[in-house]
């Protein structure tokens, strides 16, 4: 009976979505183009190198090497193998959903148990610094000093999630810690053994890395576009306002302005649009920073759908990741409140108290410069990468057909 009800609800939602697309074609098209441009210009060219490099590093045994070296740090702190340090670093450097992508690969390679993978994926999906400093702080708020507050709150909250999640299934016997002492020699030996086990030649390994990365990014692009359209349709039909009004009491309880209800709901759906709406809401900077910190930590349902799709290829369950997103949003918001005075208010009272590094950033405008360059050359990188992927796929198909 439950299965039948679920089928009916899913079919009804799909039909309603199709009707809205027909009824509001102009708004759907503009939202679709907006999502496509974001993927085309920014997401694809920025994430592709990280995905390919991570695949190559896993295949060459570099991740195993790093895991042996960082086991004494990652195991006591987060109760995950040392290889988790690579996932954590790549997740912060490249942004979501890189952490989920690499965690899933390590799970497929049997370098993580399921419980360890669920712990790891809960705190390795974070926003990259370029998005926080460039798109949000400079692009939306025109205030690079705010970027420092958001970054410290975001990454600090993420670390706190990892520490809390170390106790997730802590009695699970499948997690076997490596109690061997730190040894560079053993790390090199593990690297060599891992590389030998993967019998693929470099050309095959590189081709597979490119194809796997492009396939994942195509999936990510689809989610970005569909959630951009969904968010727009909910807004034009008034559903966003109805749902947002339903939790205004929560904002009142938290002493946040009610005007943030619609921007926060939009941010729960898709981070970029929500952050932009918060910057245009006209509320005090403290309230705006807290709201942005929460939706950055929550990731947004668009990113969560991407992660769910990636994890579906493994036995990693989604609910630990979702729990981590709730905790991350709360921790980041609390840290934002606590750090607002020392990291933002005291730095904006006068130019004499400004942090030198941030002053240089504000004068040079480097975050927006990087984004502008990426937007300019991003489509060329995307086209070239897609053509390379098609060429590799054609060659592999031709080779396999030749040997049949």
Element holding 283 (H helix, E strand): none
Q: What's the confidence (pLDDT) of residue 355?
A: 47
pLDDT band at 116 (very low <50, low <70, confident <90, very high): very high
Angle between helices 271-279 and 300-311 (to 10 degrees): 160
Confidence check: pLDDT of 183 > 80: no
CA pair distance 36, 75, nearest whole angstrom = 40
Give residue-wise pLDDT tens across range 132-181. Answer: 887 788 888 888 889 899 999 999 999 999 999 999 887 776 555 555 56
User: pTM for this one?
Assistant: 0.81
Q: What's the confidence (pLDDT) of residue 374?
A: 57
Give residue-wise pLDDT tens across range 260-287. Answer: 888 898 889 888 888 888 998 888 999 9
Give residue-wise pLDDT tens across range 357-386. Answer: 445 545 555 555 555 655 565 666 666 766
Q: What's the confidence (pLDDT) of residue 104?
A: 92
pLDDT band at 252 (very low <50, low <70, confident <90, very high): confident
- Percent of the chain at pLDDT above 70? 84
Residue 284, classed as helix, strand or coil, is coil
pLDDT band at 291 (very low <50, low <70, confident <90, very high): very high
Q: What's the confidence (pLDDT) of residue 334?
A: 94
Q: What's the confidence (pLDDT) of residue 322?
A: 95
pLDDT (mean) for 319-337: 94
pLDDT (mean) for 293-321: 92
Give residue-wise pLDDT tens across range 19-72. Answer: 999 999 999 999 899 888 888 877 788 788 888 888 888 888 888 888 888 888
With beta carbons less than 8 A apart as the criterion, state whether 45 and 378 touch: yes
pLDDT (mean) for 315-342: 93
With beta carbons less than 8 A apart as the criterion, state whether 137 and 143 touch: yes
CA pair distance 358, 276, nearest whole angstrom = 22
CA pair distance 30, 232, nearest whole angstrom = 9
Q: What's the confidence (pLDDT) of residue 94?
A: 79
Confidence check: pLDDT of 117 > 90: yes
Q: What's the confidence (pLDDT) of residue 160?
A: 94
Neighbours of 392 (CB within 10 A): 19
Q: What's the confidence (pLDDT) of residue 311?
A: 93
Give residue-wise pLDDT tens across range 187-244. Answer: 888 788 878 887 788 888 888 888 888 888 888 888 889 988 988 898 888 888 888 8
CA pair distance 261, 241, nearest whole angstrom = 8
Query: For residue 297, what are its two tokens?
Result: 């930590």
Q: What's the confidence (pLDDT) of residue 379?
A: 64
């Amino acid at each position: 009976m439950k299965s039948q009800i679920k089928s009916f609800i899913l079919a009804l939602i799909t039909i309603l979505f199709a009707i809205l697309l027909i009824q509001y074609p102009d708004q759907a098209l503009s939202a679709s183009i907006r999502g496509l441009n974001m993927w085309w210009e920014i997401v694809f060219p920025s994430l592709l190198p990280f995905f390919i490099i991570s695949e190559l590093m896993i295949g060459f045994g570099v991740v195993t090497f790093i895991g042996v070296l960082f086991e004494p740090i990652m195991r006591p702190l987060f109760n995950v193998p040392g290889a988790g340090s690579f996932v954590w670093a790549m997740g912060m450097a490249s942004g979501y959903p890189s952490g989920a992508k690499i965690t899933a690969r390590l799970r497929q390679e049997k370098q993580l148990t399921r419980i360890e993978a669920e712990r790891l994926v809960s705190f390795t999906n974070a926003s990259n610094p370029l998005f926080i400093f460039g798109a949000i702080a400079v692009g939306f708020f025109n205030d690079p000093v705010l970027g420092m507050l958001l970054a410290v709150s975001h990454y600090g909250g993420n670390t706190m999630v990892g520490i809390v999640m170390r106790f997730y299934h802590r009695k699970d016997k499948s997690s076997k810690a490596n109690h061997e002492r730190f040894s560079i020699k053993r790390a090199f030996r593990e690297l060599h053994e891992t590389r030998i086990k993967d019998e693929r030649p470099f050309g095959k390994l590189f081709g597979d890395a490119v194809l796997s990365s492009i396939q994942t990014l195509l999936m990510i692009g689809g989610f970005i576009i569909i959630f951009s359209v969904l968010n727009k349709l909910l807004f034009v039909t008034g559903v966003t306002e109805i749902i947002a009004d339903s939790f205004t009491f929560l904002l009142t309880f938290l002493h946040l302005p009610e005007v943030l209800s619609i921007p926060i709901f939009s941010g729960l759906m898709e981070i970029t649009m929500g952050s932009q709406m918060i910057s245009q809401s006209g509320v005090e900077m403290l309230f705006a920073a807290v709201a942005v910190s929460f939706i950055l930590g929550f990731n947004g349902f668009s990113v969560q759908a991407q992660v769910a799709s990636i994890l579906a290829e493994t036995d990693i369950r989604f609910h630990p990741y979702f729990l981590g997103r709730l905790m991350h949003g709360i921790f980041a918001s609390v840290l934002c409140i606590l750090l607002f005075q020392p990291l933002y208010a005291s730095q904006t009272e006068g130019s004499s108290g400004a942090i030198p590094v941030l002053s240089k950033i504000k004068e040079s405008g480097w975050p927006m410069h990087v984004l502008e360059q990426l937007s300019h050359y991003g489509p060329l990188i995307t086209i070239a990468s897609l053509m390379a992927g098609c060429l590799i796929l054609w060659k592999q198909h031709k080779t396999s057909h030749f040997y049949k």
